[in-house]
Amino acid sequence: MKKLFTLFFLISVTLSAQLNIENLTGKAFANNYGYYMLEKVCDLAGGRLMGTPQNELGFEILKKQLSDNGLSSYYEEFTSPIWYRGDDKVLLTVPYKKELRATALAYSSPAKIEQGKVVYVFSGYEVDYSGIDAKGKIVVISQTRPKGREELLRGEAIKIAHKMGAVAALFINEAKGGKVLCGVGNFKGTPLPIPAFSLTNEEGNKLKRLLENGDQVLMDINSNSYVKTGVSKNLVYKFEGIKKEKIVIGAHFDSWDLGDGAIDNGHGSAVIFEAALLLNKLGCKPERTIEFVWFNGEETGLWGSKKYVEKHKNDSIYAMFNLDMPGKVNGYNVMGFDHLIPAIKEITSKSGSYDLSSIMSTAWTNSDHMFFMFEGIPVLTPTGGMTKEMTEHYHDFGDTFDKVDKDYISHGAIAVAFLANGLSHSDTAYKRASQAEVIKLLKDHNLESRLKKQEEYPF
Ligand SMILES: [Zn+2]
């Protein structure tokens, strides 16, 4: 009897370990759970900038959709700087009156400038100011990098402008078509020394032309955006395994507020939602716990993931998988944590003709995996791209649900579910990189200097 029971137990563990790719793909494509969840979030809550009622509402919709499917989730609160966008206006007054299409960069502070003189300071490097009196002026900055110069982050250009005595900085967006491209003025969440805005390529270049032709340009700037410390939250759904070790599957749920954050990162949020549902509905029994986390505040400085790592860094996190704008997933990037490659190859060799065989190992930063990586926790991202139509409205008005492709979401969900289930049963031992190994990884993947520029190099 005992033998029979053991045999039955072994068969059932093996069955759940080998998640059936046919059942998985069938269930995913027949239901497109993530797509329909995202439609509700985008249409009923809209863009989800941390600190806004839309962000709160979006989380409630997501939480309810999980519970409607029998999955009980919970919030983890954290305290961080929160940037509140005000009713900001950049008004051209000379040579003619027009409110420009401009968006304040996050951490821009209140300002009231009347009839401010505008000057063009090329790409905003310190040498670009030679012969220009920027004192008390509004500076217009091109974001085209002259050949041979090191990258200049917007935060660095703002600091230089302030040092030169400027009272506001206006960046010309590189993409055409009336796009303003939201972004942060720094990664620290501290108030910017002067207000900073992103302008459209078209209006920015008109200002540049006027100024290069010697015409006078004057502006009024009225801004009441501000930064304040406050409480926000991540949403967690824990799929309990039998081991203490866990796999974190993360996606940022917050977004910029001009559009609906459908692609960045409603897409990733929907992918992990669908993966969580698929694993449950197909009766998977993970060995390692799989924790699904919808992070907040990624766009304004990775606050949710940073705070999660601070709280959980002593947990046995086997791997972290970050889904930020996943495309049509065809494999995985192990981001320099190469010890996972054999395990991933073994798992994906069982995905039949559903091709997940692409493997790369190129580390990158500035998304939610970054603080996990600094702690030596193995991080992964999916490979496989999106179409131009999906990505070209990134951080802008056009990031709306009509760009979302339901098949891409289900593709991603299958890839996530298959890998998470496989890794939860993998024989590859838990391993965390030492500080020396992380330092080497950041150096080997050319990440060190950029992290230092953005003042986030951790060592
Ligand atoms: Zn994103």
Q: What is the mean pLDDT of residues 337-358?
A: 95
User: Using 50, 70 and 90 to split pLDDT, how confident is the model at 17?
Assistant: low
With respect to residue 142, please indicate whether it lies within any of the assigned structural domains.
yes
What is the distance in A from the centroid of ligand 1 to the CA of 326?
10
Q: Print the domain residue range for 170.
A: 89-224
Say which residues have a Cβ less than 8 Å from residue 375's Cβ, sequence separation at least 6.
309, 313, 432, 438
Residue 12 clears pLDDT 70, i.e. is over it: no
Tens of pLDDT, residues 47-103: 999 999 999 999 999 999 999 999 999 999 999 999 999 999 999 999 999 999 999
325: CA distance to ligand 1 center in Å? 6
Report whether pLDDT(4) > 70. Answer: no
- Token pair for residue 134? 């920027």
The total number of structural domains in the chain stands at 2
Of residues 278, 307, 282, 314, the one with CA closest to residue 293: 307
Residues 367 and 397 in one domain: yes
- Measured in Å, residue 367 CA sits from the centre of ligand 1 at 7
pLDDT on residue 19: 86
Q: Where are the beta strands (DSSP E) in 58-159?
A: 74-84, 89-94, 98-99, 102-104, 111-120, 138-142
What is the 265 CA–ligand 1 centroid distance (Å)? 5
Ligand 1 midpoint to CA 298 (Å): 7
Report the percent of the chain where pLDDT is more than 90. 94
203 C-alpha to center of ligand 1: Å?
26
Average of pLDDT values for 203-210? 98
Q: Is the pLDDT score of 452 beyond 70?
A: yes
Report how far ligand 1's centroid is from the alpha carbon of 164 (Å). Answer: 33
User: 174, 195, 224: which is the final residue of a domain?
Assistant: 224
Residues 6 or more apart from 242 whose CB is under 8 A from it?
285, 286, 287
> Do 29 and 117 belong together in one domain?
no
* Interval between CA 379 and ligand 1 midpoint (Å): 16
Tell how far the Cα of 386 is from the centroid of ligand 1, in angstroms. 13
The residue among 101 and 7 whose pLDDT is bigger is 101
Distance 167 CA to ligand 1 centre (A): 30
Distance, CA 173 to ligand 1 centroid (Å)? Answer: 19
- How many angstroms does the Cα of residue 96 sit away from the middle of ligand 1? 37
Q: Is 5 inside any structural domain?
A: no
Q: Is the pLDDT of residue 10 over 60?
A: no
**Structural domain includes residue 8:** no
The CATH number covering residue 445 comes to 3.40.630.10
Whether residue 212 is found in the same domain as residue 267 = no
Distance 370 CA to ligand 1 centre (A): 13
Q: Which CATH number does the domain housing residue 181 bear?
A: 3.50.30.30
The pLDDT value given to residue 94? 98
Looking at every residue in the chain, the average pLDDT score rounds to: 95
Query: Of 221, 331, 317, 254, which is closest to residue 56 (Cα–Cα)?
Result: 254
395 C-alpha vs ligand 1 centroid, how far in Å? Answer: 9
CA of 185 to the centre of ligand 1 (A): 16
Cα(324) to ligand 1 centroid in Å equals: 5
**pLDDT tens digit string along 115-147?**
999 999 999 999 999 999 999 999 999 999 999
pLDDT of 3 higher than 60:
no
Query: Is 275 found in the same domain as 139?
Result: no
pTM: 0.95
Say if residue 351 is in the same domain as residue 375. yes
Could you give the CA distance from residue 434 to residue 381 in angstroms, rounded to a whole number?
Answer: 21
Boundary of a domain, candidates 164, 197, 224: 224
Domain stop point among 171, 202, 224: 224
What's 250's DSSP letter? Answer: E
Centroid of ligand 1 to alpha carbon of 270 (angstroms)? 13
Task: Say how many Å lie between the CA of residue 90 and the centre of ligand 1.
Answer: 27
Which residues have a Cβ under 8 Å from the Cβ of 436 and sit 6 or more positions away?
Answer: none
- Are residues 78 and 106 part of one domain? no
pLDDT tens-digit readout, 26-52 = 999 999 999 999 999 999 999 999 999
- Cα-based distances in Å from 379 to 71, 145, 323, 455: 25, 31, 11, 22
Task: Compute the distance from residue 432 Cα to the ligand 1 centre, in Å.
Answer: 26
Do 110 and 165 belong to one domain?
yes
